[in-house]
Amino acid sequence: MGAKTMARREALALMAGAWGLSSSAEETAQFRLGVFRCEVTPPLKHPLLAGLVKPAERVEEPLELRGFVLTGKEKPVVVACIDWCEIRNGSYDAWRGAMARAAGTEVSRVFFSSIHQHDAPLDDLDADRLVRAVHPADRIIDEKFHLRAVESAVQGIAEALRNAKPVTHVGTGSAKVEQVASNRKTIGADGKPSFGRMSATADKTLRDRPEGTIDPRLRALSFWNGETPLVVLNSYSVHPMSYYGQGGVSVDFVGLAREQRQKAAPGVMQIYGSGASGNTVAGKYNDGNQANRKVLAQRLASAMQKAMQTTVRKPLRQVAFRQADLQLEARDSARFTRADLEKTLRESSNPRSRSLAALGLSWRNRVEKKHPITVPVADFSGAKLLLLPGESYVEYQLFAQSLLPDEFVMTLGYGECGPGYIPTDQHFQELDGNLNDWCWVNQGSEKKMQAAIRQALLGP
């Protein structure tokens, strides 16, 4: 053995000892990671939030898709978060299928999540076709724009694979977020629940009530090459809006916080994903004043920084994958049956109502064809990433953590968004007013959600 070879092996052994790794060079390089970042801003006049708010009149900030591809002995894992409101049904299939093919992996290993800003597109080609068949001037998503956005993701993944770097460690950290999230539900002086606290809440009485049920901590999952971080995925449970509906395409305060961290650490890809946030909002700390957008962004960015500072690294030795199939029922109460939705789509003079009916029908068609929702978990040497569908309420995120209280469990919401809000049974019983139009699942979803989460995290 030559002197240079011996010196190289000794150096590898020293590094392995310092980083807690095996002295085998092959083991330290068994994983590689590439990052991608694509602009997905809609053209002006494009619908935002499925046409339920003003269309795009100007661009406050460009919208982005950010993600990474992790390769190793098993099939690659893709994680991507997009600055869009929702991606649903056939559109969600198209996105994940294209990204899976680009990465050379299975569709189920694509963890794809919308961040859920409201001044952003909502992608449901099935609903768009339904509404345009009856009202040709109506529009939910432009198909050509959808295709361009998907192609940008494909190109981004291909570039990420070409430029992938070795990964040796996974990092986990968390920090409490101060004065951002609160629950929509508050309890009045009469002891009765109220659900009037929204993303922006003008009523001081509602703002003054306690935060309610939230997950107060932001979690940060990072991947490292030795002592160099490559990417950080941050996740927090809160509706990501300070104000919206005025025609300005925006990443809102969560995107501004992400950009603050990107500027502070330009060599590390910063990704933000919304947790299970169906019923958590900034309303306690936001009266709708536009200046609050930057205030909320700074608070969130501060927690991102603290989570990184508290990060603990350990060797990335294996990536395990598990999934559960979830079948949720289409809502069958008044105004949500097929007959009701089809009548609204045909006869309503309100474009908003027609869009909602088309969204409900596109989901119902999926259910009737028995398309399951995949609930996947990736386990990065003990750091677990869980993806939930739709606007899952924060109780599901807390339930997931309760199953593994001593482990790191990060939850992303807004995967397959077809179901809309996925509340607990108690929220139905308490007549949560937010379920009047954006919830397309039946009461009784709670047990099915919990069973899928348990199976994904713990196994059969």
9 in a structural domain: no
pLDDT level of residue 7 (50, 70, 90 thresholds):
very low
16 in a structural domain: no
14 in a structural domain: no
The neighbour count for residue 80, using CB atoms within 10 Å, is 23
Strand extents, DSSP E, 92-177: 110-114, 122-123, 165-167, 169-176
Residue 364 domain boundaries = 31-458
23 in a structural domain: no
78 in a structural domain: yes
Beta bridge partners of 110: 78
Strand extents, DSSP E, 246-304: 248-249, 269-274, 280-281
Residue 5 has pLDDT above 50, yes or no: no
161 in a structural domain: yes
pLDDT tens profile 238-268 = 999 999 999 999 999 999 999 999 999 999 9
Contact 329, 445 (CB under 8 A): yes
Does the global pTM surpass 0.85?
Answer: yes
pLDDT tens profile 42-85 = 999 999 999 999 999 999 999 999 999 999 999 999 999 999 99
pLDDT level of residue 12 (50, 70, 90 thresholds):
very low
pLDDT tens profile 301-355 = 999 999 999 999 999 999 999 999 999 999 999 999 999 999 999 999 999 999 9
Residue 144 has pLDDT above 90, yes or no: yes
Query: Rounded CA gap, 353 and 226, in Å?
Result: 54
Contact 173, 310 (CB under 8 A): yes
With b meaning 16 or more CB within 10 Å and e meaning fewer, what string describes 15-33?
bbeebebeeeeeebebbbb
Percent of the chain with pLDDT over 70: 94
277 in a structural domain: yes
DSSP letter, residue 224: E
DSSP letter, residue 267: T
Q: Domain count of the chain?
A: 1
